[in-house]
Amino acid sequence: MMNTRTTQDWQAADAAHYLHPFTDFKALANKGSRVITKADNIYLWDSEGHKILDAMSGLWCVNVGYGQQELIDAATKQLKTLPFYNSFFQTATPPAIELAELLAQVTPPQFKHVFFAGSGSEANDTIVRMVRRYWDLQGQPQRSVIVSRINAYHGSTMAGASLGGMSGMHEQGGLPIPGIVHIEQPFWFESDRKLSRDEFGLKAARALEAKILELGADKVAAFIGEPIQGAGGVIVPPATYWPEIQRICDQYGILLIADEVITGFGRTGHWFGCETLGFKPDLMTFAKGVSSGYIPLGGVMVGERVARTLIDKGGEFAHGYTYSGHPVACAVAVANIKLIQRERLVERVREELGPYLAKKFAELGEHPLIGEAQTCGLMGALQIVKNKATLETFDSKLEVGMMCRAHCFGNGLIMRAVGDRMIIAPPLVMTLAQIDEMVALIRKCLDLTTAELKQRGML
Ligand SMILES: *Cc1c(COP(=O)(O)O)cnc(C)c1O
């Protein structure tokens, strides 16, 4: 029996054979990975029987929480009826058609069409090809440059990682690929903070205009951004940022792409982050929350501006994946979206959970170790600082965020550290009492981090 193996057994086999993503292989093999064996609602259990509150929804994806019977039943039923068929040969399957129809209903009105992929990264690869194809068909093939942002995360394939703005990723594998450039991110805390947040938001957005003028407007195909940067550290942009980005894209005729992989499906209190942040994208990337991570699925919502050109004058679009529109994945996604609708999870985040989390995070923001607390819907960030009055940060080499994360892991809480920014994106099915439980654990871990910093003479 596989599950009678001991933790040590699992760790030895893991170290011998399994190369983990975004991991220092040797360091992990020496340490041994934590083996997660089961989950229910917002909790995980490891192979030692420890219960852990998952404040990251897995990897930003398990929006409806673990153990939802309807999703499990949808997968089981589809596996029995038709576990796979493709959409290449002028064919389709009922779950893929049903999901396409449902997505057209829950996304903003400009979206009537979807292109399916297997993940967020694949979907962003699709986007690169699709926007370039669009401009070819418009008779402007020289419009090929896509503008993204420093510290953006758009996945880990060649195009996804190139669109992303993480220097550590660009250093490995000869990235970015040609025709992708990056401007500054709207990260007020990291700026010199001489401007107000709103002024800074305008300035950061106008970096797009400067880049367009530098490249020549006739060379620029599109701008892509996460409505709220996720992996970059839950960076909620100033309210002025996205409307100004919209104005600039409109003025120069540039396609606007929202990467909604994290912010989609209720996370911010609307179905999509662009609705919360106030802009109207031409294309949207989705993944993660579409299936609540129960099974891999991603895709691109294609707005009418692009769809009409591709459909009316495009001929064959020479692109697709074996698993585009996978029937089991689509069946799970349909069940997931129906569950979100029936349980009114989007409204609950907007009206009840989001405001409650905002209040609790504002209280955590009073903690001596915290220089900035931000939330939007059920995403949140706590910026650790050395000096609360001056907002001076710790030397990044000290890895204080990782120290805090270790206290979280040791105390039954999964919270992620991005540098010294502690972030959460918990399941949307939480109760208010569970938010209290999570916040109490966070506070305890901030106190433990403070104590360790003092004990080691770092504070
Ligand atoms: C996770 C993520 C991706 C990549 O999705 P994968 O399914 O891991 O390929 C793309 N964009 C954003 C904003 C993400 O958070």
| C-beta 371 within 6 A of ligand 1 | no
Q: Residue 43 carries which side chain, given as an amino acid letter?
A: Y
Gap between the Cα atoms of 372 and 362, Å rounded: 9
Contact 52, 413 (CB under 8 A): yes
Burial of 155 (0-12, 13-18, 19+ CB in 10 A): buried
Q: What separation in angstroms does the CA of 2 have from each of 24, 34, 63?
A: 27, 16, 29
pLDDT given at position 348:
98
Report, as an integer, the average pLDDT of 378-395. 98
With a cut of 90, say whether residue 1 has pLDDT above it. no
Sheet holding 379-384, edge to edge: 370-376, 379-384, 421-424, 416-418
Give dist(CA 384, CA 367) in Å, integer.
10
Q: Is the pLDDT of residue 2 over 90?
A: no
Cα of 458 from ligand 1 centre, angstroms: 35
Say if ligand 1 is within 6 A of residue 125 CB.
no
Average pLDDT over residues 132-153: 98
**Rounded to whole angstroms, how far apart are CA atoms 303 and 313?**
16
Taking the C-alpha atoms of residue 234 and residue 223, their distance in angstroms, rounded to an integer, is 20
pTM (predicted TM-score): 0.98
Cβ(230) – ligand 1 distance below 6 Å? yes
- Average per-residue pLDDT for the chain: 97
Whether 407 contacts 415, CB under 8 Å: no
Angle value at C-alpha 46, between 40 and 50, nearest 5 degrees: 90
Q: Which residue out of 153, 265, 286, 423 has the highest number of ligand 1 atoms within 8 Å of its CB and is therefore the one to mutate?
A: 153
Q: Is the pLDDT of residue 382 over 80?
A: yes
Give residue 183's identity as a one-letter amino acid code. Answer: I
How many CA atoms within 13 Å lie on the side-chain side of 307?
15
CB-ligand 1 contact for 259 (6 Å cutoff): yes
SS3 140: coil
3-state secondary structure of 182: strand
pLDDT greater than 90 at residue 3: no
The answer to whether residue 320 scores a pLDDT higher than 80 is yes
Across the strands, what pairs with 229? Answer: 235
What is the tens place of the pLDDT at every residue in 27-46?
999 999 999 999 999 999 99
CA torsion 343-344-349-355 (nearest 10°) is: -110
Q: Which amino acid is at 420?
A: D
pLDDT at 287 over 60: yes
The strand pairing partners of 195, in sequence order, are none
User: What whole-number distance in Å separates Cα of residue 142 and Cα of residue 124?
Assistant: 20
Q: How far apart are CA 231 and CA 238, in angstroms?
A: 18
Whether 164 lines ligand 1, by a CB cut-off of 6 Å, is: no
- For residue 213, give both structure tokens: 């003028």
First to last CA, the chain: 49
Question: Ligand 1, from 56, 121, 260, 300: best to mutate by most atoms within 8 Å of Cβ?
Answer: 121
Query: What are the tokens at 298?
Result: 């991603």
Phi, psi of 159 (to 5 degrees): -75, -40
Amino acid identity, position 5: R
Provide mean pLDDT across the span 403-431.
98
Q: What was the pLDDT predicted at 353?
A: 98
> Region 131-149: what's the mean pLDDT?
98
Q: What is the distance in A from the centroid of ligand 1 to the CA of 25?
A: 22
